[in-house]
């Protein structure tokens, strides 16, 4: 028994709610039970059979390489996650995620440190940029790209297909290793001996040198820039402020190339609530960046479930399911909500009910005029729609 938590079973939380439940004398993972109070003893409003909507990066396999590591949460880890998959990656200074491409578009958020990314479009335009914390990139499906740490850096990658795997991308080294050297020589118009030192299998991540400035590293015969940048600074915009927190949105309305991934980065102060809402344009895939909270999800036909999350967790909301998130910790909660869509969109219950006849609301919910005036018509209503 770890010393980190109270080893005295007398002090363990017990799954007893009034007259419901019974003690759990073990075997049990008390650390995890304590992390998941709303799963261990659910609110009585929870009911029905439900998808699992939580997977922690701490429960994934970490692929270890010289120059960094990666780990992924895909449909294999979280079977309801059909729309999007996520990879958490760290590179050392000079560490390289090698030149590669894949069938899925790639969206990224730089969590800390700085990296240099490269990409070309099908017209051969060359794109090179440095991305610091709070920076995003988006590479359309099939466009070849690379990532190199300028400092030690960590980022979240999101791909627009839950089936994606970071271990099945198309790699420059793997491609060359599977073409006869006679053909490589003919392709480049050089002698076969030019390829004496090519790797015989994939590099994936390797330790390289920290590069100089972008100016110093320009290709000799550079073709010029693509029409729209593949990078974007999320925090260059003023956040939307509400009484409970702040929101920054990035979608194709401000980050034009990002045609298949739309996101909001949400900050909730302690006790703050991301109001009751749902999304008309797909599943919500979440990455929890900081703090802890609880999410309640309603998925029609009496199905409802609560899940507890902490930083490093992935959360999911089924398409069109109603939900809310509450900061249950004592620090600012930060999470990213991502959608396979060209735009961020949500439907707020507060806004909905404020825009239909009050008589309908009163008939449905048994509420009175005070509720209509204070909750729906007041400028001071506690939760404000984000967009």
Distance CA 243, CA 246 (A): 8
> Which residues, in sequence order, are CB contacts of 139 under 8 Å at separation 6+?
105, 106, 119, 145, 230
Binding span for Mn ion by CB under 5 A among 20-28, 98-106, 258-266, 297-305: 98-106
CA distances from 308 to 36, 76, 82 (A): 5, 21, 21
State the nearest-atom distance from the C-beta of 74 to Mn ion, in Å. Answer: 14
CB closer to Mn ion, 106 vs 326: 106
State the nearest-atom distance from the C-beta of 177 to Mn ion, in Å. Answer: 19
For this structure, is 337 an active site residue? yes
State the nearest-atom distance from the C-beta of 14 to Mn ion, in Å. Answer: 33
CB closer to Mn ion, 284 vs 313: 284
Binding span for Mn ion by CB under 5 A among 30-38, 67-75, 102-110, 127-135: 102-110
Number of residues that bind Mn ion (CB under 5 A): 2
CA distances from 66 to 70, 94, 110, 254 (A): 11, 11, 20, 37
Measured over the CA atoms of residue 209, residue 73, residue 297 and residue 349, the dihedral's sign is: positive
CB closer to Mn ion, 30 vs 247: 247
Task: Answer whether 263's CB lies under 8 Å from 107's CB.
Answer: yes
Cis check: omega of the bond before 180, within 30 degrees of 0: no
Binding span for Mn ion by CB under 5 A among 42-50, 101-109, 361-369, 374-382: 101-109
State the nearest-atom distance from the C-beta of 44 to Mn ion, in Å. Answer: 24
CB closer to Mn ion, 33 vs 116: 116
Q: Is 285 left (phi over 0), alpha (psi -120 to 50) or beta?
A: beta
Greatest alpha-carbon span in the chain? 85
Q: Is 104 left (phi over 0), alpha (psi -120 to 50) or beta?
A: beta
Helix (H, G, I), strand (E, B) or coil at 318: coil
CB closer to Mn ion, 142 vs 219: 142
State the nearest-atom distance from the C-beta of 270 to Mn ion, in Å. Answer: 20
Task: Answer whether 345's CB lies under 8 Å from 281's CB.
Answer: yes
Strand order in the sheet with 54-56: 54-56, 313-317, 284-290, 333-339, 262-268, 245-250, 240-242
Near Mn ion by CB under 5 A: residue from 98, 104, 106, 326: 106
The position carrying tokens 């609880």 is 294
Binding span for Mn ion by CB under 5 A among 45-53, 104-112, 228-236, 249-257: 104-112
CA distances from 67 to 73, 93, 96, 133, 196 (A): 21, 8, 7, 19, 24
What does the block give as tokens for 58? 């701490």
Q: Please report, as residue ranges, which positions from 183 to 202 form the binding site for Mn ion (by CB under 5 A).
A: none
**Contact pattern for Mn ion over residues 274 through 303, marking x by CB under 5 A:** ----------x-------------------
CB closer to Mn ion, 30 vs 90: 90
Residue nearest to Mn ion (CB): 106
The position carrying tokens 């790699």 is 171
CB closer to Mn ion, 57 vs 335: 335
State the nearest-atom distance from the C-beta of 139 to Mn ion, in Å. Answer: 6
State the nearest-atom distance from the C-beta of 100 to Mn ion, in Å. Answer: 6
Among residues 77, 82, 202, 337, the one annotated as catalytic is 337
CB closer to Mn ion, 252 vs 348: 348
State the nearest-atom distance from the C-beta of 324 to Mn ion, in Å. Answer: 8
Which residues are designated catalytic? Answer: 337
Task: Please report, as ranges, the residues that interact with Mn ion according to CB under 5 A.
Answer: 106, 284
């Amino acid at each position: 028994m770890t010393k980190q938590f109270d080893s005295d079973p007398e002090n363990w939380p017990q799954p007893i709610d009034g007259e419901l439940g019974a003690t759990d004398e073990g075997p049990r993972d008390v650390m995890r039970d304590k992390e998941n109070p709303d799963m261990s003893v659910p609110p009585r409003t929870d009911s029905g059979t439900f998808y699992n909507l939580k997977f922690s990066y701490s429960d994934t396999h970490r692929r270890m390489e010289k120059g960094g590591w990666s780990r992924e949460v895909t449909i294999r880890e979280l079977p309801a996650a059909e729309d999007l998959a996520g990879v958490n990656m760290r590179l050392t200074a000079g560490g390289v995620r090698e030149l590669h491409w894949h069938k899925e578009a790639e969206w990224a958020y730089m969590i800390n440190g700085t990296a240099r990314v490269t990409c070309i479009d099908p017209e051969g335009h060359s794109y090179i940029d440095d991305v610091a914390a709070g920076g995003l990139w988006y590479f359309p499906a099939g466009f070849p790209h690379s990532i190199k740490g300028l400092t030690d850096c960590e980022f979240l990658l999101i791909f627009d297909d839950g089936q994606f795997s970071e271990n099945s991308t198309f790699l420059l080294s793997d491609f060359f290793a599977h073409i006869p050297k006679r053909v490589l020589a003919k392709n480049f118009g050089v002698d076969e001996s030019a390829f004496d030192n090519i790797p015989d299998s994939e590099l994936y991540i390797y330790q390289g040198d920290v590069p100089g400035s972008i100016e110093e590293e320009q290709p000799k015969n550079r073709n010029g820039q693509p029409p729209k940048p593949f990078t974007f600074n999320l925090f260059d915009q003023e956040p939307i402020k509400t009484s409970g927190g702040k929101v920054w949105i990035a979608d194709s309305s401000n980050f034009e190339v990002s045609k298949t991934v739309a996101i909001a980065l949400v900050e909730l102060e302690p006790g703050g609530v991301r109001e009751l809402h749902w999304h008309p344009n797909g599943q919500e895939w979440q990455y929890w960046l900081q703090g802890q909270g609880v999410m309640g999800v309603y998925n029609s036909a009496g199905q409802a479930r609560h899940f507890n999350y902490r930083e490093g967790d992935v959360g999911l909301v089924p398409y069109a399911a109603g939900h809310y998130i509450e900061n249950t910790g004592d620090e600012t909660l930060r999470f990213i909500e991502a959608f396979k869509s060209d735009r961020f969109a949500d439907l707020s219950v507060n806004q909905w009910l404020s825009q239909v006849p009050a008589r309908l609301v009163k008939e449905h919910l048994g509420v009175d005029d005070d509720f209509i005036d204070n909750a729906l018509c007041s400028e001071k209503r506690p939760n404000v729609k984000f967009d």
